[in-house]
Structure 1
Amino acid sequence: MRLNASLKPKKRSPFRIRLGKMYYTWKRYLHWYTGGNRYARMRSQDMLPFVVFRHETPLYRKLKDVDMRLQRGKVANLSLAIGRLNGLLIQPGERFSYWRQIGRPSKRKGYQKGMVLFYGTFKEGIGGGLCQLSNLIYWMTLHTPLTIHERYRHSYDVFPDSSRTQPFGSGATCAYNYLDLQIDNRVSSVYQLHLYLTDTHLVGEWRCSQKPFYHFEVYEKEHRITAESWGGYVRHNRIHRYVYNLAGEILDDEYVTENHALMMYSPLLQNREGQ
């Protein structure tokens, strides 16, 4: 089955884009408040004892044609969002919603202009850069027994791989509030999100009330690049993870998701970056 046929870029008017955002935003509000889900809200300054997984990503990158002012704005935005998320406890049976917990980023709340990916390119936007945080949380969650209820892949592969340490497509894009990241706790332990900034990195941990019985290794397979009939290139892969017990034995090889993204640069450039 050819899943990338619909990835050919579609030109939509600004009015059509605004109308679509309004529709999906209010649809999300309706689901939040009438869907009958138990959303995690309680936070604690006391950290749970066991670290399940830890990861960090650099705050500043050298990106072509991207003003460093936008990256400084991104760091300020991350600090505000972390203030709403750090210490959040997810009890058994609860659901974490990225945007429900953070709220709408606005200038009134102190959010600044950062880089926002927009139909394969980028622009300035209040609250820009928060995808780095949703990417981090999603990647960490793949290394826990927590269940991804809702996640949206990046539709565009904007920048070539440069010192990439994670598989392509292992992030989660976000846009208030309709592109949300939602995570369910379907196990018997309490999980806690621990987030903070250093001078150079965004750092996160999933912590737990009990010592974990399993650990996970996330990897990609079936990675390929296809030349499309309409003249563009599309990048594909599948994300899987190995499940290990405490003795280091593989218990399972789980399918996680698949990715299809329009490449906004030449595949030859990507190959040179990878050499």
Structure 2
Amino acid sequence: MARRLISEIHPILYFLSVWFRRLAIYLRWCFEDKTFASLQSSERLPYRVKKHQSVLIRKLGDTDIQLQYNKVKNLSIAIKRIDGILIKPGETFSFCQLVGLTTKRKGYLPGMLLSCGEAKPGIGGGICQIANLIHWLVIHSPLIVTKRFHHSFDPFPDDRRVLPFGSGATVFYNYIDYQFMNCTPYTFQLRLWLSDKCLEGELRIDQNLDFAYHVFEKDHQFLKIGEKYYRKNEIWRNKIVRRKSGEIIETELVTKNFAEVKYVPENYKEVEGCDIIYGLSDNGKNGF
């Protein structure tokens, strides 16, 4: 029989475990040698690095559609803490520091959370969509991701997915954070807003860059191992010179992904053993 974590035995123990971890992060924030980005500006920096949008309302299996509408409200609250944030040279962006704890008192509603291997309602659910979008913008820039987690399972079949599997980030205040550092001489800025159907965002900069990044997926597969289904892929990026017809000057592996899927995929490869499973030690925690 599989051993259970202490936090799984009783809800009170889970609550104490969560707050013990949060306290540890509070203390680390106080003493670690980092300068966190905190200044927001309503004035846009002059140049755009990357823009993206993601659909607000998606069909997620048989889940309550009201959770999707609640998510939109949660997004509208959270983006106010990030929109316009400047990330100056030497500064670190921390999603959890900026957004803070999502509570009813702040106006957050129950949305969809992915936790302990299942999808379920929770206050503030859905704000991971912001972290997903920000991570996609960041990997199209010279900013360095220093802390990133992604969900260890894939709960629903793709619905209008346009980004590669595993290219997002998940957050859970405050120890499952999304952070990146600006080690360049430039100042960057994140802009976020809601349109009628989408969460919109862009990464801007104070000087025009003479290079850009193209992010792409390789080796995507669904696998059946025993009675379970899994999904794996690799995400790469090319650094391209803008003024030389897209000349590639560098190719870099961003991350490898491997996660269990909670549905039966249409096409899959049945394999034996786990020799083809890679990246499990990094599953849910990747940086580059």
TM-score normalised by length of structure 2: 0.86
The yes-or-no answer on 1:52 pairing with 2:49 is yes
Corresponding residue for residue 235 of structure 1: 231
Corresponding residue for residue 284 of structure 2: none
Q: 1:97 aligns with which of 94, 98, 111?
A: 94
Structure 1 residue 160: Cα displacement:
1.2
Q: 2:134 aligns with which of 128, 137, 140?
A: 137
Q: Give the SS at the match of 1:108.
A: helix
The yes-or-no answer on 1:263 pairing with 2:261 is yes
Contact 2:93/2:179 (<8 A) preserved: yes
Percent of counterpart pairs with the same letter? 41
Cα distance in 1, alignment partners of residues 16 and 189 from structure 2: 37
Corresponding residue for residue 13 of structure 1: 9
Corresponding residue for residue 225 of structure 1: 222
Contact 2:37/2:88 (<8 A) preserved: yes
Cα distance in 1, alignment partners of residues 59 and 203 from structure 2: 29
Cα RMSD (Å) of the superposition? 1.9
Cα distance in 1, alignment partners of residues 132 and 230 from structure 2: 21
Corresponding residue for residue 61 of structure 1: 58
Structure 2 counterpart of 1:182, which letter? Q
Structure 2 counterpart of 1:245, which letter? V
Q: Give the SS at the match of 1:138.
A: helix
Contact 1:161/1:270 (<8 A) preserved: no
Corresponding residue for residue 249 of structure 1: 247
5+ long unaligned stretches in structure 1: 1-7
Structure 1 residue 269: Cα displacement:
6.9
Cα distance in 1, alignment partners of residues 108 and 184 from structure 2: 35
Structure 1 residue 9: Cα displacement:
11
Structure 1 counterpart of 2:232, which letter? H
Corresponding residue for residue 111 of structure 1: 108
Contact 1:119/1:156 (<8 A) preserved: no
The yes-or-no answer on 1:212 pairing with 2:209 is yes
Structure 1 residue 153: Cα displacement:
1.7
Contact 2:222/2:268 (<8 A) preserved: no
Q: 2:187 aligns with which of 180, 185, 190?
A: 190
Cα distance in 2, alignment partners of residues 51 and 135 from structure 1: 19
User: Where in structure 2 are the equivalents of 1:117-156 lying within 5 Å?
Assistant: 117-156=114-153
Contact 2:221/2:268 (<8 A) preserved: no
Give runs of ≥4 in structure 1 deviating > 4 Å.
Answer: 8-11
Cα distance in 1, alignment partners of residues 224 and 9 from structure 2: 27
Corresponding residue for residue 3 of structure 1: none
The yes-or-no answer on 1:24 pairing with 2:38 is no
Residues 109/270 of structure 1: CA separation in 2 closer, same or farther (3 Å cut): farther
Structure 2 counterpart of 1:236, which letter? K
Worse-matched range after superposition: 174-183 or 213-222: 213-222
Contact 2:34/2:91 (<8 A) preserved: yes
Structure 1 residue 218: Cα displacement:
0.9
Corresponding residue for residue 274 of structure 2: none
Structure 2 counterpart of 1:185, which letter? N
Structure 1 residue 118: Cα displacement:
2.0
Worse-matched range after superposition: 122-131 or 12-21: 12-21
Residue-by-residue CA offset, 1:175-226 (whole Å, 9 max, x unaligned): 1111100010010100001000011110000000000221111112232333
Structure 1 counterpart of 2:230, which letter? V
5+ long unaligned stretches in structure 2: 270-288
Residue-by-residue CA offset, 1:3-59 (whole Å, 9 max, x unaligned): xxxxx9978334453343223212211221111200000111101000100000011
Cα distance in 1, alignment partners of residues 267 and 223 from structure 2: 15
Corresponding residue for residue 282 of structure 2: none
Worse-matched range after superposition: 167-176 or 115-124: 115-124
Structure 1 residue 70: Cα displacement:
1.0
TM-score normalised by length of structure 1: 0.90
Residue-by-residue CA offset, 1:51-86 (whole Å, 9 max, x unaligned): 100000011112222222111111111111111101
Cα distance in 1, alignment partners of residues 3 and 205 from structure 2: 43
Instruction: Give the paired residue count.
Output: 263
